[in-house]
Structure 1
Amino acid sequence: MAETPGRPSLRERKKQKTRAAIRRATYRIAAEQGWEAATTEAIAAAAEVSPSTVARYFPVREDILLTDDQDELLIARLRARPAGEDPLDSLRAVVLDAVSAALDAEPEATRLRARLMVEIPAVRARLTETTARTGRLLSGALAERTGRSPGDLEVRVFTAAVLGALREATAHWAEHGRGDDLVSLLDRTVDTLKAGLPLRTRP
């Protein structure tokens, strides 16, 4: 039977289901027993796949928490923002939309991921690497929008600064009980980048 145009192939849909099952199993184990209990073998058993399948889909275990196949969608949305829009406002819009969607779809998983980010050094270290990879992709899209080269220092610094600031805001959220509205905190973070850090008058 021919595949419907625009729809993922049967093979791709099976891959997506397997990846989703591995992620669900990982979050369940990590939430109930802690990250150290979420070994490749335990995840495989809970997801009803082989350990080699887990390793094939996620060669780095921390990537089960930190990768979500959303980079391409993020880039597409960034490219679709209005021409001439301030780059910082463009990034604000696409990132806040993505975080809001994640909180709506998987609130507990989002909170758990943030908590593990600040509690587990290996997760935090891997996040730095995955953020850098996302930053390189975003730099390309931002370069297109601003008429620059993706390798320009200004593009790299700008992108890294924004992603680093948003990561720190997420860490702040996790460290303070995850009770505040994360989207509002991220919005405030972008405002801080825009305004800088004014001096306060000492009493």
Structure 2
Amino acid sequence: MTLNHRQAGLRERKKAKTMASIQMHALRLFRELGYKATTVEQIAEAAEISYSTFFRYFSSKEDVLIIDNYDPLLISSFESQPAELSPLQALRNAMLSGVKEMTPGELATMRERNELVMSVPELRAAMLNNMLSMMDLIIDMTCKRTGRQREDIAVRTFAGAVTGVNISVMLHYAEHAEADFSILLGEALSKLEEGLTL
């Protein structure tokens, strides 16, 4: 990896950490005050950032629960996977390596975010849009790796299946705080790779 790539990776990791910190403070306020009663000003003050800095990371209070900045890290890891791996194997490795780099605090924040999203109806709709964006990202990465076109039904089905796995694992993790997210995700993606016979 070149120096520029390492520096870019460090910048993305620092940005992701800052976003996770803002989310952690926001979640505490949501617990104490309620989601609707909490303001962006209160979140910024708790995170010790300015009001304008908040909007460098999130476009709204809703985005604090919906958006993260791990996509660039996922793309970088996916693209560095050995060429002999299938797209699913490469994506599984990339996703699991990203999870392993998350601190216990980041994982707890992710679980709590998902739990809160599922309890607020308007946030569930926003999460669907986020999942559709994830599906588009997987389509783009898969097309680049395989040379296939976005319209290829196999590519779209693959992206939809992986996105579905991610949703099911996140929902399970939101309801089972004692679970190991990395193990859950690895097992679910392995089931998909094996053909998921029931």
| TM-score, normalized by the shorter chain, greater than 0.5 | yes
Query: Identity of aligned pairs, percent?
Result: 36
Q: CA deviation at 1:171?
A: 0.1
Deviation, structure 1 residue 100: 2.7
Partner residue, 1:126 = 126
CA contact (8 A) 1:62 1:122 kept: no
Q: Is the 8 A contact 1:22 1:47 kept in 2?
A: yes
The equivalences for 1:138-157 within 5 A come to 138-157=138-157
The residue that corresponds to 1:101 in the other structure is 101
Letter in 2 for 1:182: F
**2:138–2:159 CA contact under 8 A, matched in 1:** yes
Change (3 A) 1:15 1:181: closer
Per the TM alignment, residue 78 of structure 1 is displaced from its structure 2 partner at its CA by 0.6
Normalised TM-score (structure 2): 0.78
Q: Which structure's relative contact order is higher, taking Cα pairs within 8 Å and 6+ residues apart? A: 2
Say which is worse superposed, 67-76 or 21-30, in terms of deviation: 21-30
- 2:190 paired residue number: 191
Compute the TM-score of the two structures, normalised by the length of structure 1: 0.76
Which residue matches 2:61?
A: 61
Stretch moving more, 33-42 or 110-119: 33-42
1:33-54 per-residue CA deviation (whole Å, 9 max, x = no partner) reads 4433432232234345565654
Q: Report how many residues are paired.
A: 191
1:106-156: CA deviations, max 9, x gaps? 233122122123222233222221222232222222112112123322212
Structure 1 pair 79/56, CA: closer, same or farther in 2 (3 Å)?
closer
Bigger radius of gyration: 1
Of 44-53 and 184-193, deviating more is 44-53
Tell me by how many angstroms 1:159 deviates: 0.9
**Which structure 1 segments of 5+ residues have no match?**
none
Q: Distance in 2 between matches of 1:17 and 1:194?
A: 31
Does the 8 Å CA contact 1:29/1:38 hold for their aligned counterparts? yes
Q: Does 1:110 align with 2:110?
A: yes
Query: What is the match of residue 182 of structure 1?
Result: 181
Gaps of 5+ in 2: none
Change (3 A) 1:69 1:173: closer
Q: For the residues of structure 1 that align with 2:164 and 2:38, how far apart are their CA atoms?
A: 27
- CA RMSD in angstroms, aligned pairs only: 3.0
- How far apart, in 2, do the equivalents of 1:178 and 1:90 lie? 28
Q: Give the AA of the match of 1:25.
A: H
Deviates more, 1:180-189 or 1:104-113: 104-113
